[in-house]
Amino acid sequence: MKTIVVTAILIFASPFAQAQEALPVFSEGAEGLGLGFGVGEPTGLAIAFRPNADHTIAAMVGWTLTKGQLHVHTDYLLTVAKIDPPESVISLNVYGGVGPTLDLDTQYQRNGLGLRLPLGVSIAFDKPIDIF
């Protein structure tokens, strides 16, 4: 009886074990959609889309705490250099980009439209975490 139960468990569990191998692993690549938050000035919700490892479209909707304004910006970012130390859980990406920025102030009518030229370094971990 124990042999039948063990055999039945192995037969029914084997398709699930094969299905688990096909599931994506977060650290396989940098492509995809990411959500996060920006802390500082402004503070808000950030989103990024990476069609591949070198190109990113990033946006943020936030609130400027000092001026009391709604802030929105979108950037196209290009990775210009990658630093992958051997046997490390992190990699560094140097990027630059361009994009529009908009500040809306309903109280004092101080609205602003501008151009951003972001330059920076992002720290990517083997897990689905990215700091920039």
pTM confidence score: 0.69
DSSP string computed for the chain: -HHHHHHHHHHHHHHHHHHHHHS--GGG-S-EEEEEEE-SSSEEEEEEEESSSSEEEEEEEEEETTTTEEEEEEEEEEEEEEE--TT-SEEEEEEEEEEEEEEE-TTT---EEEEE--EEEEEEESSS-EE-
What is residue 16's predicted lDDT score, i.e. its pLDDT?
Answer: 46
Q: Which range has highest mean pLDDT (20-29, 95-104, 122-131)?
A: 95-104
Confidence tier at 30 by pLDDT (50, 70, 90): low
Nearest-10 Cα torsion for 18, 21, 24, 25: 150
Mean pLDDT over residues 51-78, rounded?
Answer: 91
State pLDDT tens for residues 39-60. 888 899 999 998 988 899 999 9
Is the pLDDT reported for residue 17 higher than 70?
A: no
Is the pLDDT reported for residue 122 higher than 50?
A: yes
Is-cis flag, bond preceding 118, omega within 30?
A: no
